[in-house]
Amino acid sequence: MADDEHVALLKKGVNAWNEWRDENPDIRPDLSETNLYGANLIEADLRDANLYGANLIEANLRQADLRGALLMGSDLYGADLIEANLIEADLRDANLSGANLNAANLGMADLRGAYLSGADLIEANLIEADLRAATLIDTDLTDADLTDCRIFGVSAWRLKLEGAKQQNLVITAGDEPEITVDNIEVAQFVYLLLHNEKIRDVINTITSKAVLILGRFTDERKAVLDALRDELRNRNLLPILFDFAIPASRDVTETIKTLASLARFVIADATDATEVRVELHNIVRDFPSLPIQPILLRGHPEFVSLSHLTKFPWVLPIFEYDHPEHLLASLDKIILAPEAKMKVLEDALEEGRRKIEAELIKPR
């Protein structure tokens, strides 16, 4: 429990508090579990203070000195910590969601298990901070310095990282040899890749078996889609559908490029889907080793411009079908064609590699 005398001194105001601290440098203030909701603590000297479990919701701690303070389990929701000094502070399991830590110094702070969702950490110094198992969702780390942070078990989603320094982030636990990465958002993936055989199997499955299907599959055309997916599954392939029947977001091109980078080949049904034609133009030039099989319902002249894409060797001739039953009856051909094209492309790449190697070892 807090020391009542210390709490009373703090409530007299920051000036009186700081004078008392100057006169009693050896006393460690005990403010544990104190209700300091909305308190004005600008420039307060709280070095080494015990603020365990304190209620600091919306408190103004701007430029406060919190070096070495114990803030474990404290609630700092929405607190103003702009330019606060939190070097070596213990913030384990603290709630810092929505807090403003702009330009705060959190060097070597212990933030294990802390909740930092929505926090403003713009230009914050987090050098050597311990962020193990911390929750970072929608956290703004613009221009922050995360050098040498420990981030094992961190939950990092939709971070703002423009200009952030992310060097030597330690992704392993304390009892494991150190492995570092330079991007907090990929840290979770890298760790899983190293330690989870199933994850590695999943990645291998995706890159060797995924087939991207692009189309506008309205209700009346679901039978075509379902049959296509079933046939791919029967061939031990993994269908990934991007259905333009649902309004696409502004990031649709990047999403499709990401999916295309994972795919073995693409089947693109341009029937009633101008968007498919547009996205094919976006991915064809970027993926020269990715076979693409365009298909469309015969008699749709608006898609004639698709034919010029076939000048690219990895784009197969457009397969036109007369009706859904015709398409279903032709699935074998539709699926085998990109597989055959992939073999041709792979053989051409291998031949090119051999020629380059031969040229390199040729006597001069």
37 lies in a domain?
yes
pLDDT in tens, 268-296: 888 776 778 788 888 888 888 888 888 88
* pLDDT tens digits, 169-219: 999 887 777 889 999 988 877 887 777 767 767 676 666 788 888 888 777
pTM for this prediction:
0.65
In sequence order, what are the residues at sequence separation of 6 or more whose Cβ sits closer than 8 angstroms to the Cβ of residue 208?
A: 264
Residue indicated by tokens 């701690």? 61
pLDDT score for 331:
78
Q: Answer with the one of 156, 180, 195 that is the final residue of a domain.
A: 195
Is 128 inside any structural domain?
Answer: yes
Are residues 151 and 68 part of one domain? Answer: yes
Q: Which of 121-130, 218-227, 236-245, 339-348 has the highest mean pLDDT?
A: 121-130
159 with 50, same domain? yes
Instruction: Judge contact between 160 and 140, C-beta under 8 A.
Output: yes
Residues 230 and 184 in one domain: no
Contact between residue 103 and residue 122 where contact means Cβ atoms under 8 Å apart? yes
pLDDT for residue 243? 79
- Which pLDDT score, from 0 to 100, does residue 72 have? 97
Q: Yes or no: say if 115 and 92 are a contact pair by the CB < 8 Å rule.
A: no
Whether residue 225 is found in the same domain as residue 312: yes
Q: What is the CATH number of the domain that holds 235?
A: 3.40.50.10140
CB atoms within 10 A of CB 311: 8
Give the number of C-alpha atoms closer than 13 A to the C-alpha of residue 346, restricted to the C-beta side.
9
Within the chain, where are the H helices?
A: 4-11, 14-23, 184-195, 197-209, 222-234, 252-262, 274-284, 324-329, 331-361
Per-residue model confidence (pLDDT) at position 12: 95
Q: Tell me the pLDDT tens digit for each residue of 247-274.
A: 555 578 888 888 888 888 899 888 776 7
Residue among 117, 268, 238, 132 at smallest CA distance from 187 = 132
The token duo for 242 is 């991007």
Sort strands 265-269 and 169-170 into parallel, antiparallel or unpaired: unpaired
Q: Residue 249: its pLDDT value, please? A: 54
Count of domains observed in the chain: 2
Same domain, 235 and 137: no
Query: Among 195, 212, 247, which residue terminates a domain?
Result: 195
Q: Could you say which of 136, 166, 195 is where a domain stops? A: 195
Backbone dihedral angles phi then psi of residue 142, each to the nearest 5 degrees: -55, 125
Q: Does 227 share its domain with 345?
A: yes
Answer yes or no: is pLDDT of 47 > 80: yes
**Which of 90, 153, 84 shows the shortest CA–CA distance to 119?**
84
Is the same domain home to 239 and 92? no
The answer on 228 and 154 residing in a single domain is no
Looking up tokens 């508090």 gives 17
217 lies in the same domain as 167? no
User: Does one domain contain both 227 and 259?
Assistant: yes
Tens of pLDDT, residue by residue over 337-359, are: 776 766 666 655 556 556 555 55
pLDDT at 205: 66
- What residues make up the domain containing 335? 201-355
